[in-house]
Structure 1
Amino acid sequence: MSSFYELGLSPKVTEAVLNMGFEEATPIQEKTIPIALAGKDLIGQAHTGTGKTAAFGIPMVEKLSGELEQLQGLVITPTRELAVQVAEELNKIGQAKGIRTLPVYGGQDIVRQIRALKKKPHIIVGTPGRLMDHMRRKTIRLDDIKIVVLDEADEMLNMGFVEDIEFILGETPQERQTLLFSATLAKQIQDLAQRFMRSPEFVGIKAKGVTVPSIDQSYIEVQEKQKFEVLSTLLDIQSPELAIVFGRTKRRVDELSEALNKRGYSAEGIHGDLTQSKRESVLRQFKEGTIEVLVATDVAARGLDISGVTHVYNFDIPQDPESYVHRIGRTGRAGEKGEAITLVTPREINHLRLIERITKHKINRMPVPTIRDAIAGQQRATVEKLMRIVEEEGYKQYQGLAKDLLAETDSITLLAAALKLLTKEPDRTPVQLTEERPLRSKKASASNKNARNKRALPGTKKRFTGVRGKN
């Protein structure tokens, strides 16, 4: 793989990419970025989780001007969740260069969006229906668009947005550059490319399976409000030497690390808001074993190379398969065994199936653990600690004291008392976590395709479709 220094990027964009924790380009980025930088149209066949957002985001930011206060780039996505996710990444890539990105989607107050549009973002990431609402109101004009990206084009066509996309593309300048990304290349995709793209180059990336056979992967289906009790029980049962718990947001990481400390676990959190010195301090303590549990967001965990991590817990299921592979890869290093457990709410099961499909790996279901399991786990851990001391002969200075105690109490009673004293009994101190909304699965999104309405822009004869308020 190439480093980003080898791709001919400007210093500001390279700096932004490296600050995001990326060091080497993924295969789709390595192939796509030079073609896009050359101004050519492109069709990328790639699944979610291959790094395709940066594959189109990096050249897009590179080619646009932060000095021009006008809309220059457009990304069309099938769902509001993807629009928000893509916009966040583009804002990070464009930060050093001053390129601002705004997501627009149905379900959010349109007046608030109009207010944000008046600040003249350089890039808009939007869903088809809401984009056309703004076009009808003339709050979005596409006259100066230089680059258009169709992200997850197959999903948009499956959801019935083909006429919407045709209309939007028809309103952009003919000399624009068009980048299309799709997991499949169905006939509709090819027809769309033939009509709206100029001699596009093709880049195909096959999804790779998870090459981490030393990691046991499993999931537990659990309601959102029961997740923390399940995590606490797992920690009591498994007594990990070093564990990383992944949360979806900074707020989640802060609340989780605080709650774990209340329960008696030694935990610290890392996320993007920490200073570099604080981050380094936390990681040093974790490597030294002073902290047993590290709670982290995906971004904060990029580039972590810590040996000895025995367990990874996905408190929140990751956004995409690439993040899943990255997370579980923190354990099972250097041939050591590792364990990865993902907590999944019932509404997120389809998202788990997507991860299985893309990574080509079956994730086994685990039953919800009980308090009885936790007590048994802690007792087992105590016995293991005692036997380790026996094996290491680290008890000899206590032999005299032991003989004195045995003169007064029988050995079974004395050993039972020692086991009770050493065993950490499950702590159920009440904690309160802010509930996170479950990830919306693509299957659920696609089911809306029968709910389409016909709408038209004033002054046009063209009819087109959209899912009102759902995109």
Structure 2
Amino acid sequence: MTEFEGIVPAIAQALAKRGYDVLTPVQKAMLDPGLAGKDALVSAQTGSGKTVAFGLALAPGLLEGAERFGPAGTPLALAIAPTRELALQVQRELEWLYELTGATIASCVGGMDMRTERRALERGAHIVVGTPGRLCDHIRRNSLDISELKAVVLDEADEMLDLGFREDLEFILETAPAERRTLMFSATVPRSIAKLAESYQRDAVRIATASEAKQHVDIDYRALTVVPSDRENAIINVLRYYEAQNAIVFCSTRAAVNHLTARFNNRGFSVVALSGELSQSERTHALQAMRDGRARVCIATDVAARGIDLPGLELVVHADLPTNPETLLHRSGRTGRAGRKGVSALIVPLSARRRTERLLENARIRATWAKPPSAEEVNRRDDERLIADPIFSASLRDDEQSLVQQLLQSHGAEQVAAAFLRQYRAGHSAPEDLQDVPAEGERRKPRRDEFSAPRDDAPSTGRNDFADGVWVSLSVGRKQNAEPRWLIPMLCRNGNLTKRDIGAIKMMPEETFVEFSAEGAERFLSAIGPDKTLERGIRVKPLAGVPDFSQAKREGTYGKKKPYSEKSARSSDAAKPKWKSDRKPERMPTGEGSVSERPDKKPWAKKPGKPNFAKNDGPPKGGKPNSRAARKAAKARGE
């Protein structure tokens, strides 16, 4: 049995049983005799063993010299974590660490049945692990008594403040006994954490491990520049190139998580989603699928994946770039844990290169800039893995010899090897063909077809010319604001194409003609299915031969209206009079002085016999005075 100096014997046995030979820097720091019984503010990298560290630090004070705990009653220690997954993970860690001490550990997390938790608390617990909101609910309902707490632990304290749990934390710390030990663990120590420590800790010892504020030495950071439309294809190639035992892809929104999950499922990846909209049981099943090997890729948002620990997580992919250095470090900290190597790959669109450089500089991370793995590189890496597969070094078993001989006699060694190769490749998703990214400092001139619609008189956009090109018609045109810059990515996304498969594009008012290569057209029509409908309800109609662009321009629609010449054919008798007014001719005045012969004038502007009220200098001839003053003057003259 491995001996650890200064550790409770039962805890030391649990460590040896778990296979621990040496402790991490933060775990050694928490065993310092000068820290016994004191408050501490600890900052250490994610994945440095903080859960075991505070478990080691709490044990002497909770056991008080005894080898085992007595009957469970009112909790003696409280551990607070920001998310459900992290809280349940802390509970699992403490359960094996305190297994030989007879400790009872209960959890109180959001999303779980509160009645079940209440019954567990009534039976008694030595240590309670929970999230801030649920712990506050139990305390207010008197189902959790924290009057006898000896220690409180805040795990990932900076994240709890970022998520808005300050009021809940202050309520818990103010309700707990004043004579308690408070340990705060945080990856970073911003001003908000320092202020919280000053308010609720007494003469706290500041502990900073040697790895603080610098990149994790076991993580290889790679910044991969891509054309924006190739972002998802680049992620596919990264996953295929590394073929990690477990990988996690970070997105910024739930919608992005759902989109990538559906896309990767269609490509044959075994994926699970992890976002805030999932229920607790769904999240638990997703993580369990990753742990037992049923899924190998987890697509998650930042908050949902906070603090989770997946065994064998070798690859972290940032599908959406982190917004700040702390998020980058927390995401990347999911890999490279416990001495294992890991890769953190940032998918960087060309337009975001400068922003990514500032992000890496602020995080004090030195990343390797490169292009994503190409399809050729992925295939070459597959061949290397196949040749080095341990299956070829395994000894031939007795029950296999007869069948092996039959296969060799029936098909020959070369044919058997070819069949094995085909079966191996069939189990892997095909890599994507990526566009070439300009070299550093080279400014790429945008092609006309990438950013604007062509002229009406242009036969095509100047893209690839195919001798055997196949044309299709899309039910969208310039009137629907159709542009190649979003049409081309949509066609590639829905039809399993690359830009090399797309030729000329001709846009009409309400219709767009697109030319595909023969192979690309077959793949495109097969991918969109029998209903032949794309995103936004765009309909696809295959065409036979090259379309008549002049006829389509006259029609001005998706093949429904009559030609312009037929629409405008009217008899001269039925022609509409060119009056400026909409009034009918028979209602217009006629006779002497009429202006009906002048269609460019309003015929009712001047009518004979009506008074002119434009002036106030007396009545017109044959008329009446048009004002009170004029009438008085006329009366005075005797008129």
Q: Which residue of structure 2 aligns with residue 33 of structure 1?
A: 31
Equivalent residue, structure 2, for 1:201: 205
**Contact between 1:45 and 1:184, CA under 8 Å: does it hold in 2?**
yes
SS at match of 1:23: coil
Q: Tell me how far apart the structure 2 counterparts of residues 192 and 159 of structure 1 sit (CA, whole Å).
A: 15
The answer to whether residue 336 in structure 2 is matched with residue 325 in structure 1 is: yes
Aligned to 1:442: none
Change (3 A) 1:120 1:365: farther
1:356 to partner: Cα distance: 11
> Does the CA-based 8 Å contact 2:103-2:126 persist in structure 1?
yes
With over 3 angstroms needed to count, the CA separation of the structure-2 counterparts of 1:355 and 1:25, relative to structure 1, is farther
Structure 2 counterpart of 1:15? 13
Distance (whole Å) between structure 2 residues aligned to residue 67 and residue 217 of structure 1: 52
Show CA shifts across 1:112-155 (max 9, x none). 22233233221112222111111111110111100011222222
Segment drifting more, 165-174 vs 180-189:
180-189
Distance 1:428 1:96, change over 3 A: same
| 1:178 aligned residue (158, 182, 185) | 182
* TM norm structure 1: 0.54
Q: Which residue of 2 aligns with 1:24?
A: 22
State the partner residue of 1:362: 367
**Against the structure 1 CA distance between its residues 104 and 51, is the aligned structure 2 distance closer, same or farther, given a 3 Å change threshold?**
same
Q: What's the % identity of the aligned pairs?
A: 30
Query: Which amino acid is 1:80 matched to?
Result: R
Q: Does 1:122 align with 2:129?
A: no
Aligned with 2:195 (options 171, 191, 194): 191
Deviation at 1:197, TM superposition (A): 2.0
Superposition pairs for residues 61-460 of structure 1, below 5 Å? 61-65=59-63, 66-70=69-73, 71-205=75-209, 206-211=212-217, 234=241, 245-246=245-246, 251-252=289-290, 254-256=292-294, 314=315, 324-326=335-337, 329=340, 360-362=365-367, 367=372, 421=418, 424-425=421-422, 426-428=424-426
Contact 2:46 2:334 in 1 (8 A): no
CA contact (8 A) 2:4 2:12 kept: no
The answer as to whether partners of 1:4 and 1:25 remain within 8 angstroms in 2 is: no
Contact 2:153 2:182 survives alignment (8 Å): yes
CA distance in 1, matches of 2:316, 2:135: 34
- Over residues 352-407 of structure 1, what are the superposed CA-to-partner deviations in whole Å (9 max), with x where a residue is unaligned? x999987935376875876x87666667889999xxxxxxxxxxxxxxxxxxxxxx
C-alpha RMSD of the superposition = 4.8
Name the structure with the higher helix share: 1
Change (3 A) 1:355 1:135: farther
AA paired with 1:113? E
User: Is the 8 Å Cα contact of residues 109 and 130 (structure 2) preserved in structure 1?
Assistant: yes
Instruction: Structure 1 unaligned segments of length 5 or more: list them.
Output: 236-242, 259-296, 302-311, 331-338, 345-352, 386-416, 432-471
- The separation in 1 between residues aligned to 2:330 and 2:99, in whole angstroms, is 22
CA distance in 1, matches of 2:35, 2:174: 23
Partner Cα distance (2:41, 2:388) in 1: 57
Which amino acid counterpart does residue 69 of structure 1 have in structure 2? A
SS of 2:336 mapped into structure 1: helix
AA of the residue aligned to 1:140: L
d(CA) in 1 for partners of 2:197 and 2:335?
32
1:54 corresponds to which residue? 52
Alignment check: 8 A CA contact 1:49 1:320 kept: no
TM-score of the superposition, structure 2-length normalised?
0.41
Residue pair 1:41, 1:198 contacting (<8 A) in 2 also: yes
**Secondary structure in 2 aligned to 1:424?**
helix
Q: Quickly say closer, same or farther: Cα 1:210–1:428, change in 2 above 3 A.
A: same
Contact conserved, 1:230 with 1:369, CA < 8 A, in 2? no
- The answer on whether the counterparts of 1:356 and 1:362 sit within 8 Å (CA) in structure 2 is no
Letter aligned with residue 13 of structure 1: I
The answer to whether the 8 A contact 2:45-2:333 is kept is no
Q: Please say if residues 378 and 424 of structure 1, whose CA atoms lie closer than 8 Å, have aligned partners that are also in contact.
A: no
SS at match of 2:78: strand
Alpha-carbon shift at residue 422 of structure 1 (Å) = 8.5
Does the 8 A contact of 2:46 with 2:330 survive in 1? no
For the pair shown, which has the larger CA radius of gyration, 1 or 2? Answer: 2
C-alpha change, 1:429 and 1:64, in structure 2 (3 Å) is same
- Distance change >3 Å, CA 245–CA 359, structure 1 → 2: farther
Whole-angstrom distance in 1 between the partners of 2:178 and 2:366: 44
Instruction: Flag structure 2 segments of 5+ consecutive residues without an equivalent.
Output: 64-68, 249-286, 297-308, 319-328, 348-357, 390-413, 430-639
